[in-house]
Amino acid sequence: MSRRGTCSAGRAEIQEHVRDRYGKIASGGGCCGGGSEGSACCESSTAARELGYSSRELASLPAGANLGLGCGNPTALGSLKPGEVVVDLGSGAGIDCFLAARKVGPRGRVIGVDMTPEMLAKARTNARTGRYRNVEFRLGEIEHLPIADGSADVVISNCVINLAPDKAEVYREAFRVLRPGGRLAVSDVVATRPITRKERADPSLWSSCSSGAIEVRTVKALLRKAGFTGVEVDLGVHAKTPGTLKDQASLGVVPANVRATKPYG
């Protein structure tokens, strides 16, 4: 990863691996993590509670929405309010979109964006099953959001930005779609030590939410360069590393909560 937020491996190769991995996950072939593709964390309520979801939140979800792919609970981090418009970057099967929908209520709106057709299909099925009328899912890359300028109050994301080849572009896009005063609330993984060029160049390691992570100082620098203020990165989000992130921890990659604001004027 360069300081400008680009990956050392080819962008197209990274995206292909990420799309393939998460397409298989959507079809029932495993979940995120540096270990085996058949990890048992999918649909695990225990794992989700480790990441900050309450039992009540999990019970409210359609079956199939919780794939065990996150590293936090951005809907809690974002302090969502009734009537707000929320955009979820890399929405997967829809877990955070559905929780956000309940928080913003019928006057609010939630838009999930994902580049994996299989995930999009699964999320849309879950939305119909759960009768969520204030949620929609759009196909797109988070570096090129299919969202109008200044149309969102909050941008959330859960363990996805680390997968993007160009983090700087992701943050610029988040800034673009937010209204003045809008908030960024992201749960992601960050690197606590430099990740080697060899590790960065491994598409499988990158696509497992591992070697695409960047260091805290780089996260802050990219957010500020995009125009955000009030940038905060909190590494103390879990008392201990959740079981689903132990492979990442062995690489020096840990969960973090990231907050920032688009200033007025």
| pLDDT tens sequence across 12-46 | 888 888 999 999 999 884 454 443 333 334 446 77
Residues 157-175: b if buried by 16+ CB within 10 A, e if exposed: bbbbbbbbbbbbbbbbbbb
pLDDT at 84: 98
Residue 61: inside a domain = yes
Q: Is the dihedral of CA 61, 128, 26, 22 positive or negative?
A: negative
Residue 198: inside a domain = yes
Instruction: Judge whether residue 2 has pLDDT over 50.
Output: no
Choice among 56-65, 137-146, 149-158 with the minimum mean pLDDT:
56-65
Residue 120: inside a domain = yes
Residue 81: inside a domain = yes
Cα–Cα distance measured from residue 226 to residue 221, given in angstroms and rounded to the nearest whole number = 9
Q: How far is CA 160 from CA 142, 206, 223, 233, in A?
A: 9, 11, 16, 16
pLDDT at 216: 97
Residue 77's CATH number: 3.40.50.150
Q: State how far Cα 55 lies from the chain centre.
A: 21
> 167, 190 in Cβ contact below 8 A?
no
Residue 227: inside a domain = yes
> 72, 156 in Cβ contact below 8 A?
no
Tokens standing for 38? 């058949």
Q: What is the pLDDT of residues 76-110, one digit of tens each?
A: 999 999 999 999 999 999 999 999 999 999 999 99
Residue 3: inside a domain = no
Residue 240 — pLDDT band, cuts 50, 70, 90? low
pTM summary value: 0.90
Domain that holds residue 165: 11-261
Residue 5: inside a domain = no
Q: What is the pLDDT of residues 186-238, one digit of tens each?
A: 999 999 999 999 999 888 899 988 999 999 999 999 999 999 999 999 997 76
Domains held by the chain: number: 1
Q: What is the mean pLDDT of residues 118-124?
A: 96
pLDDT at 1: 40
